[in-house]
Amino acid sequence: MNCDQASEHLVEYHHDTLDPQTRDAMATHLASCGACARSYCRLQAELRGIGSAYAERPSAKARASLRKAVEAEFSTAPAPALWRALRRPVPVYGAVLAAIIPLALWMWSPSGSAAAEEPAPPAPARLHGYDATAPLVDPSVS
């Protein structure tokens, strides 16, 4: 490979788009030719220059703000007692619901509130064959 060919393949060599045979020939040429090696270094420097030209860091304030947001989002530090009670291990509201639901079911069921609110029908007065409503009959009369 001569210098003109190497110059033609410089960018392809950098981006690894050459076939293996040409790539090896290129590497051999760069190792032995100072001018082409300098050209290759210049290409690399120009590309690195893109990174340098745009390199910019966010402000310390932005960093602090983001860190605070991440801390608020993912921190596992001990939470206030009320929050802990609401979350772990069994949510308090879950326990309350567990207590309320059976009570509510009982109240809405026919044997619950509805039955309890209606007055019970009067018990029959007849007890053991005695009818309190029957007219009194004197047995001695018969």
Q: Is 11 in the site for another protein (CB under 8 A)?
A: yes
Q: Is 16 in the site for another protein (CB under 8 A)?
A: yes
Residue 89 is given by DSSP the state S
* Out of 21, 31, 57, 128, the residue judged to bind another protein by CB under 8 A: 57
Which of the stretches 63-71, 82-90, 105-113, 120-128 binds another protein when contact is defined by CB under 8 A?
63-71
* Out of 3, 41, 70, 96, the residue judged to bind another protein by CB under 8 A: 70
Check if the beta carbon of residue 10 is closer than 8 Å to that of residue 43: yes
Q: Is 51 in the site for another protein (CB under 8 A)?
A: yes
Give me 87's structure tokens: 């979350």
Give me 83's structure tokens: 């929050």
Alpha carbons 69 and 73: distance in angstroms, whole number: 6
